[in-house]
């Protein structure tokens, strides 16, 4: 759905603007607006909103929102507890740059949201008009209003404030881009543009600024974020897709459970083998696998050709992966002879010789020992030791 814009008028009615060709269609009808207003942006005049700027050191956005009220506390007309603070988005190119801030009283914001909710526009976004002003020092005249950006402050004044107020505000800003004949005359300066001479023209200008940049500060932040219900409309059209997705998810979950069980079983088997290995090779350590690993991790004597028990074990496991159907049963390490003997279950007697050949290509001497039939399997011993085959 295309975004629709609206101006909250002085009588609390909405004037809508929607794109049409290269221009805008303006009117009071809500055509093109989502039933809950989630594609609607409502512009407030900004008379009740003040604009500030502050440097807010924070590790994340939530922390920045909590710190922002206290960064400008001395500038607030009301206390922190009765004010709602909204932040501009952090600059992507410079996240530590000062943040633009809009402040509105919680009472006024509650009032505006209640007004929109009464019209079914619970999810409409809210933006203050003066937060949309372009960069630089700017004064923009609209019906009954003057929008301003001077330095790091933005504001909206009632036109009835008079000439003296405008002169006081603009005194320290010699270069101001002025949009509006009456403002220019009041300041004795030249106007670059005519400003907006009607609410319709004002709404079009605000919508255009919003389309051209992302300067506008969303007022509905934090606790005022729109609460969107789960949309079940058209659910019937997705029943088949949902059922297929559920079946796929169930199949994936089942396969994950089976794989996890297989991995756990394999881990238990390896743990049992490691404990037996430690108990037989180092009986004085009482089967403590960690102590054994600390001793044999790099070999008992790094100067010899035997690479160490862990590396030799890796050679055996790599060889087993190349002989289909082979399964390691036990590992025995002879420290005196520096030999690692593996007892392995094979499918055939020929597999014993095949594994011995593969292991011999590793640079270690590999030799096979006794082989025997055990049920449908062949149990054979293969020994690795220093040297070359």
- pLDDT by 10s per residue, the chain, length 389: 789 999 999 999 999 999 998 899 999 999 899 989 999 999 999 999 999 999 988 788 888 888 899 899 988 888 888 999 999 998 888 888 899 999 999 999 999 999 999 999 999 999 999 999 999 999 999 999 999 999 999 999 998 877 888 899 899 999 999 999 999 999 999 999 999 999 999 999 999 999 998 889 999 998 898 876 655 555 555 566 667 777 777 777 777 777 777 666 666 666 666 666 666 666 666 666 666 666 655 444 444 455 566 777 888 888 888 999 888 888 887 777 778 888 999 999 999 999 999 988 877 888 898 888 888 889 999 998 876 44
Q: What is the pLDDT of residue 340?
A: 85
Q: What is the pLDDT of residue 298?
A: 46
CATH topology of domain 4-132+199-224: Nucleotidyltransferase; domain 5 (3.30.420)
What is the domain partition of the chain in residue ranges? 4-132+199-224, 267-385
Both structure tokens of 367: 């030799």
Q: What is the pLDDT of residue 292?
A: 63
Q: What are the angstrom distances between the C-alpha of 236 and each of 244, 249, 267?
A: 14, 20, 46
CB 199 within 8 A of CB 15: yes
Rounded CA-CA distance 326/322 in Å is: 9
Q: What is the pLDDT of residue 12?
A: 94
Q: What is the pLDDT of residue 267?
A: 61
Q: What is the CA radius of gyration of the chain?
A: 39
CB 130 within 8 A of CB 145: no
CATH superfamily of this structure's domain 267-385: General secretion pathway protein M, EpsM (3.30.1360.100)
CB 184 within 8 A of CB 195: no
Both structure tokens of 119: 């019209």
Q: What is the pLDDT of residue 77?
A: 81
Rounded CA-CA distance 175/161 in Å is: 22
User: What is the torsional sign of CA 364, 370, 373, 374?
Assistant: negative
CB 50 within 8 A of CB 147: no
Other beta carbons less than 10 A from residue 151's beta carbon? 10
Scan for tokens 């922190």, then name that residue: 80
CB 178 within 8 A of CB 139: yes
Both structure tokens of 309: 């028990």
In SS3 terms, the chain reads as CCCEEEEECCCCCEEEEEEECCEEEEECCCCCCCCCCCCEEEEECCCCEEEEEECCCCCCHHHHHHHHHHHCHHHCCCCHHHEEEEECCCCCCCCCCCEEEEEEEHHHHHHHHHHHHHCCCCCCEEEEHHHHCCCCCEEEEECCEEEEEECCEEEEEEHHHCHHHHHHHHCCCCCCEEECHHHHHHHCCCCCECCCCCHHHHHHHHHHHHHHCCCCCECCCHHHCCCCCCCCCCHHHHHHHHHHHHHHHHHHHHHHHHHHHHHHHHHHHHHHHHHHHHHHHCHHHCCCHHHHHHHHCCCCCCCCCCCCHHHHHHHHHHHHCCCCCCEEEEEEEECCCCEEEEEEEECCHHHHHHHHHHHHCCCCEEEEEEEEEECCEEEEEEEEECCCC
Rounded CA-CA distance 56/71 in Å is: 7
Axis crossing angle, helix 289-296 with helix 309-320, rounded to the nearest 10? 100
């Amino acid at each position: 759905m295309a975004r629709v814009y609206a101006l909250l008028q002085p009588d609390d009615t909405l004037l809508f603007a929607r794109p049409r060709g290269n221009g805008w269609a303006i009117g009071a009808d809500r055509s093109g607006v989502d039933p809950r207003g989630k594609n609607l942006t409502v512009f407030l005049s900004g008379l009740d909103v003040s604009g500030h700027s502050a440097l807010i050191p924070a590790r994340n956005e939530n922390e920045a929102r909590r710190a922002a009220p206290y960064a400008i506390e001395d500038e607030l007309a009301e206390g922190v507890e009765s004010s709602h603070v909204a932040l501009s988005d952090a600059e992507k190119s410079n996240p530590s740059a000062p943040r633009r801030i809009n402040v509105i009283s919680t009472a006024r914001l509650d009032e505006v949201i209640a007004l929109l909710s009464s019209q079914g526009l619970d999810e409409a976004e809210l933006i203050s008009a003066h937060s949309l002003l372009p960069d630089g020092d700017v004064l923009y005249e609209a019906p009954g209003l003057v929008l301003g950006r001077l330095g790091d402050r933005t504001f909206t004044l009632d036109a009835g404030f008079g000439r003296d107020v405008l002169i006081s505000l603009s005194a320290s800003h010699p270069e101001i881009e002025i949009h509006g004949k009456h403002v220019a005359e009041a300041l004795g300066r030249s106007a670059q543009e005519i400003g907006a001479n009607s609410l319709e023209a004002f709404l079009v200008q605000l919508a255009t600024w919003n389309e051209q940049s992302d300067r506008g500060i969303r007022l509905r932040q934090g606790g005022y974020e729109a609460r969107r219900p789960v949309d079940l409309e058209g659910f019937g059209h997705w029943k088949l897709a949902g059922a297929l997705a559920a079946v796929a998810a169930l199949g994936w979950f089942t396969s994950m459970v089976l794989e996890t069980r297989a991995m756990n079983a394999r881990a238990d088997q390896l743990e049992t083998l490691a404990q037996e290995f430690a108990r037989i090779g180092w009986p004085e350590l009482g089967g403590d696998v960690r102590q054994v690993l600390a001793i044999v991790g790099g070999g008992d004597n790094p100067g010899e050709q035997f690479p160490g028990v862990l590396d030799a074990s890796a050679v055996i496991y790599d060889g087993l992966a190349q002989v289909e159907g082979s399964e390691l049963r036990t590992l025995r390490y002879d420290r005196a002879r520096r030999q690692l003997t593996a007892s392995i279950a094979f499918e055939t007697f020929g597999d014993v010789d095949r594994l011995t050949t593969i292991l011999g290509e590793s640079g270690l001497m590999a030799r096979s020992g006794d082989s025997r039939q055990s049920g449908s399997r062949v149990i054979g011993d293969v020994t690795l030791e220093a040297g070359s085959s």
